[in-house]
Amino acid sequence: MSIARVRSELVLASTNRGKLKELQALLAGLPVDVRGVHEVLAKPPHVVEDGDTFAANAAKKALTVAGLTHCMTLADDSGLEVDVLDGRPGVRSARFAYEGATDAENNAALVKALEAVGHHAAEGREKPFAARFRCVLALVDPFTNGGEPFLVDGTCEGSIPLTLSPRGAFGFGYDPLFVVDGMGGRTLAELSDDEKNAVSHRGRAMARLAPALEKILAARDETVRRIVR
């Protein structure tokens, strides 16, 4: 067995089941063996996401898990940005209601915030609330680039309807409230897994990461070969 096949393990630095499912599907066609951090570490670390940007948080998570596992590690930080809320929930999307909030509680907090904005807006508002999902993926490999994170991002443009009514039984997070541009007025939660992965912020970030990952794997394999010679 070649060194490249033995060393091609990729650890996902997340315990979010929804993210893990999507990332595993998006990585399925790449030459890596994907494992969740819970499969590698008996007690996955709790990384405090105190960065001001998605990039800072993604890099911190990837570096932390890579440092503990000594494996190539991929981390995701993502969230919803609503223009009328000045970009909130943003980096606080997973804890918009409060630390440790459920998806339902965060959705309720978003609806409340938009209702408050609506009360102060001009009457007769007809346009939905412009919004987007943003994702930053951070890839860290201890064998290449001095262990520094490689970062890519992706966005999915859409809106929150004025009705503020969730629709759909799929996805997670704010998906039931987010109508995707160009998808016939459907929310992310109304799309199949394949449809969502094709247009989502995470899917678009992964499309940008894939060719870079191939190059990183090649460089990594060459470095490992030099070490073991």
- 43 phi and psi, to 5 degrees? -125, 90
52 in catalytic set: no
> How far apart are the C-alpha atoms of 161 and 126, rounded to whole Å?
10
In terms of Cα–Cα distance, which of 82, 156, 149, 167 is closest to 117? Answer: 82
> How far apart are the C-alpha atoms of 143 and 71, rounded to whole Å?
9
Question: 39 with 52: CB under 8 angstroms?
Answer: no
Instruction: Return the beta strands (E) in the chain as ranges.
Output: 9-12, 33-36, 72-82, 129-140, 150-160, 179-180
> How far apart are the C-alpha atoms of 193 and 82, rounded to whole Å?
24
CA 34, 148, 208, 219 torsion: positive or negative? negative
Selecting among 77, 141, 175, 221, the annotated active-site residue is 77
| Polymer length in residues for the chain | 229
In terms of Cα–Cα distance, which of 161, 204, 209 is closest to 186? Answer: 161
Catalytic residues: 77
